[in-house]
Chains A and B, each alone.
With several copies, the nearest count.
Chain A
């Protein structure tokens, strides 16, 4: 029906009383997300948008079990909050903040692995199963149900592309933002595996960028194990080497992570790579029309 989250998913908001936390709690509720509680140390007993606020995650899940937690926590405190969620048994963690120290992200991922938990982000817009559950900060209106799964390293560019899809009448199953940092929880391969298993997803759009090797690994996986068509768009064709292009992970270092290497790998895996974001819908229609 969808991947990772659906209309049953029970969501906790860590950092709910902050500006971002309270604003997006309202937006997520408006989208239909089941938010069962919020956490803000020292603010227990308050409520935000009708959602009860607790002092700790343990207290919250003691009152109401939760499947997922979204963190609106300043970067220096994100590690502690993430480890708390993991220790309290949360299995899906969505890390919105950017600028989480790299070693903290490494720690979070290590403990998530031990707890068999999925981490989305950090520095992500989150994920959304269209029409069912949004755990993130993306604008509500672009995410309408349909047959396409989307997975992206960047936010606004993903909205741009999903916007083009929506305008041309193609909706989405689940849209996942991997996050722009050097160390993030989910990689393309993880999400592609889930989309391959999801009966409602007929085609996948992969929005990548220069830096790292996630696209190359995705290409190898697509080649070896995927039956569903994948369309890609990659940002950073014009980026010079050695410069960090906004995202910590978007950098061509020591000749690795180039645009060319990624396009070559994806093309070899029979993935169609769109020249412009605008071209994505036509390529998608070609493959889902042919199904």
Chain B
């Protein structure tokens, strides 16, 4: 779960990481009040899209009037498909140097990894690889002073800036571990006359660990379908094609989409309804898919934990209760395959045993 900048900064503050003085506002009038209090300010749209700045979602203002006008403008903007409910109004900081600092996970090393570059402020993709210091942290040792000193040496950082890093890095690491972050990024980390200040905050919390953080708000910047899929605990991604795809298992679902494309079709979505779902859950997944009004429905089941009869039963039930008025291509093999096939035949669906045949049939149905 990605956190809005202001929530990330609240976490920073709680862990003792300096952030600019600021206010979260919900209407343009508050922007003027905040500017009156803070002086020269920066106003930032609280949306999750990464390209906020380039799209005009960030503005500077040197008077309450200007702040109000900019806030009005930003409140109306759509960024990444969403308009902001909140803006962050912050005192403009005096930046001497922009630094990139992040902690994320290095899957190969199976460790948290600290990333630091003195080329901050730009998109991280644009930082030259050789200018980025990477330090994987052994969690049984934790973030120690010596690691920070070695990172600083590699960066060529000494003196008071090194001292700032010695204070800051253990705090960010503590936040990363305790808050179950996948990413804790500060870009830019601003060197100001008062020391290092986090001028931005990009914190992503591990969805699988959210239950440990009941105090965090649940961010709902998603489409209605995505929210519904989340409720049903389905792995669902909207795509822009016309063949709805449902399969069991992430890899085989991806492979099904690839095959649809291979045969000249275009998938409408990714839907992995997982292993071992019961009739109820499978029905709900089907209903969600049908609600997207696809032109063809492709179901690809290789039953392991998933039982073919359960999927067929769910299909028959939804067909009866809601009606399924579009062409269907069904592939069914594995656990309780025969029972499943019988159920499908009763509702007039002939199923395939080959994935290739089912997918090419689905593409053919589109042309029909």
A248 to B251, CA, bound (A): 12
Contacts of B305 in A (CB 8 A): 137
Q: Does B33 belong to the interface (CB within 8 Å)?
A: no
Residue of A nearest to B212 (CB): A101
Q: Does A264 belong to the interface (CB within 8 Å)?
A: no
Residue of A nearest to B251 (CB): A154
Q: Does B323 belong to the interface (CB within 8 Å)?
A: no
Contacts of B149 in A (CB 8 A): 41, 55-56
Q: Does A202 belong to the interface (CB within 8 Å)?
A: no
Q: Are B251 and A84 in contact (CB under 8 A)?
A: no
Q: Are A102 and B150 in contact (CB under 8 A)?
A: no
Contacts of A102 in B (CB 8 A): 105, 180, 182, 206, 208-209
Q: Does A224 belong to the interface (CB within 8 Å)?
A: no
Q: Are B146 and A237 in contact (CB under 8 A)?
A: no
Among B54-62, B242-250, B285-293, the stretch in contact with A: B242-250
Q: Does A245 belong to the interface (CB within 8 Å)?
A: yes
The 8 Å CB contact of A180, one of B141, B250, B270, is: B250
Answer whether A235 and B254 are a contact pair too, CB < 8 Å, given A102-B208, A110-B111, A249-B107. Answer: yes
Contacts of A59 in B (CB 8 A): 150, 153
Q: Are B259 and A103 in contact (CB under 8 A)?
A: no
Q: Does A63 belong to the interface (CB within 8 Å)?
A: no
Q: Are B140 and A236 in contact (CB under 8 A)?
A: no
A113 to B208, CA, bound (A): 23
The 8 Å CB contact of B258, one of A114, A139, A237, is: A237
Residue of A nearest to B238 (CB): A243
Shortest B159–chain A CB gap in Å is 8
Q: Does A157 belong to the interface (CB within 8 Å)?
A: yes
Q: Identify which of residues 146-162 in chain B touch chain A, using a CB-to-CB cut-off of 8 Å.
A: 146-147, 149-150, 153, 158
Contact pattern, B 247-284, Cβ under 8 Å of A = 1, otherwise 0 = 11111111101111110000100101001100000000
A157 to B108, CA, bound (A): 23
Q: Does A53 belong to the interface (CB within 8 Å)?
A: no
The 8 Å CB contact of B247, one of A87, A156, A210, A250, is: A156
Name the residue among A57, A75, A245 with the largest chain B CB count within 10 angstroms: A245
Q: Are A81 and B146 in contact (CB under 8 A)?
A: yes
Q: Are A155 and B108 in contact (CB under 8 A)?
A: no
Name the residue among B251, B335, B356 with the largest chain A CB count within 10 angstroms: B251
Contact pattern, B 131-153, Cβ under 8 Å of A = 1, otherwise 0 = 00000001111001111011001
Contacts of A157 in B (CB 8 A): 249, 251-252, 254-255
Answer whether A110 and B139 are a contact pair too, CB < 8 Å, given A59-B153, A103-B180, A154-B249. Answer: yes
A242 to B257, CA, bound (A): 17
Residue of A nearest to B260 (CB): A238
The 8 Å CB contact of A247, one of B251, B267, B275, is: B251
Q: How large is the interface on B (under 10, 10 to 19, 20 to 34, 35 or more residues)?
A: 35 or more
Contacts of A158 in B (CB 8 A): 251
Answer whether A239 and B141 are a contact pair too, CB < 8 Å, given A56-B149, A160-B355. Answer: no
Residue of B nearest to A152 (CB): B251
Q: Are B237 and A243 in contact (CB under 8 A)?
A: yes
Answer whether A235 and B258 are a contact pair too, CB < 8 Å, given A56-B150, A159-B302, A183-B107. Answer: yes
The 8 Å CB contact of B138, one of A75, A110, A185, A244, is: A110
Q: A77-B145, A156-B275 are in contact. List 13 more A-B contacts (CB 8 A).
A: A56-B146, A57-B146, A107-B139, A114-B140, A156-B251, A183-B110, A184-B107, A236-B258, A238-B254, A238-B260, A238-B261, A239-B270, A245-B250
**17 A-B contacts (beta carbon < 8 Å):** A44-B153, A55-B153, A80-B144, A103-B206, A111-B140, A114-B140, A138-B304, A154-B252, A156-B252, A213-B108, A235-B251, A237-B261, A245-B270, A250-B250, A254-B124, A275-B262, A278-B356
Which residues of chain A have a CB within 8 Å of any CB of chain B?
20, 41-42, 44, 55-59, 75-77, 80-81, 83-84, 87, 99-107, 109-111, 113-114, 125, 137-139, 152-160, 163, 180, 182-185, 187, 207, 209-210, 212-214, 217, 233, 235-240, 243-250, 254-255, 275-278
Enumerate the 10 nearest inter-chain pairs by beta-carbon distance, A residue then B residue, closest first. A154-B251, A246-B250, A156-B249, A157-B251, A84-B146, A101-B209, A235-B254, A109-B110, A246-B235, A246-B272
